[in-house]
Structure 1
Amino acid sequence: MQRVWVFLFFLGPVSCNFLDSKEKRTQDLINTELREMDWNSVDSYPLFLECDETATKEAQKQCFAQQLTTHFENTLREFEFTIDSDHSAIVDVIFVIDAKGKISVEDIIKDAAILKQMPEFDGIITQSLKNIPPIAPALKRGIPVKTKFKIPVQLNTK
Structure 2
Amino acid sequence: MRKLLILFCLCLISSCDLFTSTEVKTQKLVEKELQAINWNDVDQYPLFDDCDETASKASQKECFENTLLLHFSMTLQEFEFILDKDIEEAVYVDFLVDKEGKITVLNIDKNSLIQEQIPEFDGIVSRSLKSLPALGPALKRGIPVNAKFRIPIILNSE
TM-score (norm 1): 0.80
Distance 1:77 1:86 in 2: 16
Matched AA of 1:149: F
> How many angstroms does 1:106 deviate by?
1.0
Matched AA of 2:145: V
5+ long unaligned stretches in structure 2: none
Match of 1:105 in 2: 105
Match of 1:44 in 2: 44
**Alignment of structure 1 residues 1-158 onto 2, 5 Å:** 11-14=12-15, 16-81=16-81, 83-85=83-85, 88-157=88-157
Distance 2:83 2:34 in 1: 48
CA contact (8 A) 1:104 1:130 kept: no
Name the CA shift for 1:83/1:33 in 2 (closer, same or farther; >3 Å): farther
SS at match of 2:152: strand
Deviates further, 53-62 or 77-86: 77-86
Deviates further, 141-150 or 47-56: 141-150
Q: Please list every run of at least 4 consecutive aligned residues from structure 1 whose deviation after the TM superposition is greater than 3 angstroms.
A: 5-14, 81-88
Provide the aligned length of Structure 1 versus Structure 2.
155
- Per-residue displacement from partner, 1:119-151 (whole Å, max 9, x unpaired)? 221111111123212211122222222222222
Matched AA of 2:117: Q
SS at match of 1:75: helix
5+ long unaligned stretches in structure 1: none
> How many angstroms does 1:111 deviate by?
1.0
Distance 1:53 1:134 in 2: 14
SS at match of 1:89: strand
Matched AA of 1:17: D
CA RMSD of aligned residues (A): 2.6
Matched AA of 1:114: I
